[in-house]
Structure 1
Amino acid sequence: MTGPPDDPVLPILAPWLGRSAGPVLLAVSGGPDSSALMQAAAALGGTAQVATVDHGLRPGSGAEADAVGRAAARLGLPHATLRWVGSKPGRGLQEAARTARYALLCAHAEAIGAGLVLTGHTRDDQAETVLMRLAAGSGTAGLAGMRAERVLAPGIVLGRPFLHLPKAILTAWCEARGIPYLRDPSNADPRFARGRLRAAWPALEREGLTPARLARLAERAARDEAALAAAAEHALEAALLPGPGRGGGLRLDGGALAALPDAVALRCVDRALARAGAAPRRLERLEALVIESLLPALRTGRPIRRTLAGMLVATDAAARVSFAPAPPRRQPADARLAAGGRRLLGKAGPPAYIGEVCTDGPDEPSDASVRGSHTPGIDR
């Protein structure tokens, strides 16, 4: 069953459900988007199961999960409530909640033998993601927003079948069929970046900054980033020198690296750092290393030594670039004080990453002053 030809939902979801030989896990919070996902999956048949993540961050979240369970039972779909237990962080609550959500969904998918997890993210969510990453200073990888699908874990794919649909279509689809759904008032709470952003949409749209255009920006950024990533991977393989570098790690032909366009060289070094075992890298610090230090040094024949993300990056007289674990360094207390505070060092804003470090929606501020009783993403 695929529904009538003019149905905006069933024909989009049907191919996703047909991809998996085993059960498909639906992440349903009870908002209009995920409620439409659950109802449409039930109408199409198959072997879908439902999971609701209860973050336990506000009163009533357990009752909402129970309501989703009852709705799933009426549709004949197995349901599980996945609870985020244990202590919650004092900072970065939204990011931690997102990480916990996908970890819980992944574990449950493994338990039931599901190779596909579907969420109800919409074009509106994509637009919010792009706009918030734009405000964070992200490059093209961040502006590409959420992917329609990505690997969640070995053998498990996360899919977003409604990513190109406006939220209003899913809401209207539910209302036309009398399908009840929940609304989380904290999504409009001005203490949270998402709430402030939603309040600003009318003004942004009057200037032409519509969700549709931001979603198109994400598509274009994803296309360009894919081309740059492929070029960087090819360049890295061509520049790799045989044998381990000094202290382990790896080495690159600096002449080949210096001949690359800056955007490709930046990604090539990022991949080299990842292969050498570096920690995640903030984009602005990677740019400072590659664009401001490494490439000028290689192009003028000057040796340099820099550290980034726990790695020592150094050049030698033969224009070889080595990547190896940086030696531990202790900084005297007076030197730390002289360095100034986070804001003076330019570290107060949200980080932007060159790669797929943040891929699942906009981050909220991590400052403790904006924390409240909030369940992330109930309208997803």
Structure 2
Amino acid sequence: MAPVSPPDDPLSDEGLERLFSSLNQASGILAAVSGGPDSIAMMHGLARWTSLGRRPPIHVATVDHGLRPEAAGEAAFAAREAGLLSLSHRTLAWTEQKPVAGIQEAAREARYRLLVEYAREVGASHLVTAHTLDDQAETVMMRLSRGSGLSGLAGMRRETDRQGIRHVRPLLGLPKSHLLDQCRHHGWRFVTDPSNADERYARVRWRKLMPLLAAEGLTAGRLARLAERAAQADEALSLKARAAFDRGEPRRDAGTLSFHAQILTDEPFEIALRVLELVLAEAGMDLDNSRLHRLEACTERLRRAAEAGETLSLTLAGAHLRLTQTGRLSVRPEPPRHRGR
């Protein structure tokens, strides 16, 4: 007989209904499973959840980044465990040339690209990952150390869009320790990734600092709550920025987006900053290449010029911004630069 879950267990039948409630409307679900205790617990939870009623089909995928010799064996382990639960499994290999610098960020981008592509292939509308409360706390601390703004301090969102695939993190409110306990309680096998102890990676160094921060009251739970509050404030400010932008009478013409720059001076600086960020996104610019301090400096210059009735021309994140004397700000892709010999 299988071990009985404690009554307050989030992976009990009642708990699973709450954890995975947003997945009921999915056309299909792709679960990213590495073989570690977090993702193994999630996979077992999903398998149990499907037995409780009519559910969308579930597929499992493991990404082999090709960075460690053990990775192929871990993917094979995840495939066997998925098979024991009657779940289909695919190993997705990152076969491209690996960069010398920024390997973790490149691996993350490759991982989600492969997962999104496979989700489309199997007809899954939702991707689920096993990010936990501890992962959220580490993310908040890492972003805080880089001087992130409010949007960054909101951490990972429970649900977000990835090129038309809904990315859901159902375990974001659960501590890793609980999932590890569940694996041991139920006898679910898992693997341990040695890179989780490699201090060359910033996340690992932050992970080792977390017990010291917790001893001073800065627990993972409180950091996660900070992220929730930041997310609520971020959403409210984004709605305010959208309303301000709409009042600027935006126009689109031949690849150019323009609006009345007076809204940048009428609104508080944070709203003006978000309006400019919104405009760049609407114009299709890649904001990943523009750090917050550059966006802030650009917003300040535009506000001063608009108040003085001056013209201004500058570039930011691959965009050319031009403020005219009539007080209209236009945004278009920056033209290619021609370098002399």
TM-score by length of 1: 0.81
Residue of structure 2 equivalent to 1:7: 9
In 2: Cα distance, 1:290 partner to 1:74 partner: 56
Q: Which structure exhibits the higher relative contact order, with contacts defined as CA atoms closer than 8 Å and separated by 6 or more residues?
A: 1
Counting aligned pairs with the same residue, the percent is 46
SS of equivalent to 2:189: coil
Q: Counterpart of 1:51 in 2: which secondary structure?
A: strand
Shift of 1:184: 1.4
Q: Is structure 2 residue 227 aligned with structure 1 residue 224?
A: no
**Alignment partner, residue 127 of structure 1:** 137
Equivalent residue of 1:196, what SS?
A: helix
The CA deviation at 1:290 is: 0.3
Q: 2:309 is matched by which residue type in structure 1?
A: G
Q: Is contact 1:33-1:167 (8 Å) kept?
A: yes
Alignment correspondent of 1:290: 299
Q: How far apart in 2 are the matches of 1:332 and 1:137?
A: 37
| Paired position in structure 1 for 2:324 | 316
* Mapped contact 1:12–1:162 kept (Cα < 8 A): no
Shift of 1:25: 1.7
Tell me the CA shift for residue 228 of structure 1: 0.9
Cross-structure match for 1:88: 98
Q: Please state how far the C-alpha of 1:332 moved relative to its aligned partner.
A: 7.5
CA–CA distance in 1 between the matches of 2:159 and 2:93?
Answer: 24
Distance change in 2, residues 1:21/1:330 (3 Å): closer
Match of residue 281 from structure 2: 274
Specify the code of the residue in structure 1 equivalent to 2:182. Answer: W
Unaligned runs of 5+ in 1: 334-380
Provide the rounded CA distance (Å) in 1 between the counterparts of 2:239 and 2:336: 34
Q: Distance in 1 between matches of 2:9 and 2:335?
A: 61
Post-superposition offset of 1:122: 0.4
Alignment of 1:123-272 (within 5 A): 123-154=133-164, 156-242=165-251, 244=253, 249-272=256-279
Aligned partners of 2:78, 2:170: CA distance in 1, in Å?
A: 20
* C-alpha distance in 1 between matches for 2:279 and 2:311: 19
**9, 19, 28: which is aligned to 2:24?**
19
After superposing the two structures, state which structure 1 stretch, 44-53 or 32-41, moved more. 44-53
Tell me if structure 2 keeps the 8 A contact 1:188–1:198.
no
Q: Give yes or no for contact 1:27–1:52 (8 Å, CA) kept in 2.
A: yes
1:284-320 CA-to-partner distances (Å, cap 9, x unmatched) read 11101002x1112212333222111222222222222
Matched, 1:40 2:45: yes
Q: Distance in 2 between matches of 1:296 and 1:305?
A: 13
- The code of the aligned residue for 2:62 comes to T
Q: CA deviation at 1:22?
A: 3.9
Gaps of 5+ in 2: none
CA offsets per residue over residues 194-221 of structure 1, 9 Å max, x none? Answer: 1211111122112222111110111011
Change in Cα spacing, 1:107 to 1:311, as seen in structure 2 (3 Å) is closer
| Deviation of the 1:233 alpha carbon | 1.0
CA 1:216/1:69 → structure 2, altered by over 3 Å: closer, same or farther? same
Alpha carbons 1:188, 1:194 under 8 Å: kept: no
Query: Which residue of 2 is the match for residue 300 of structure 1?
Result: 308
Aligned match of 2:81: 71
How far has the Cα of 1:12 moved from its partner? 3.9
Instruction: Please give the alpha-carbon distance, in whole angstroms, between the structure 2 residues aligned to 1:202 and 1:153.
Output: 37
Partner SS state of residue 9, structure 2 = coil
- Size of the alignment, in residue pairs? 328
Structure 1 vs Structure 2 CA RMSD: 2.2
Secondary structure, counterpart of 2:240 in structure 1: helix
Q: Residues 325 and 67 (structure 1 numbering): CA distance in 2 closer, same or farther, change over 3 Å?
A: closer
Describe the shift of the 1:81–1:299 C-alpha distance in structure 2 as closer, same or farther (beyond 3 A).
same
| Farther off after superposition, 296-305 or 208-217 | 296-305
Which amino acid is 2:153 matched to? L
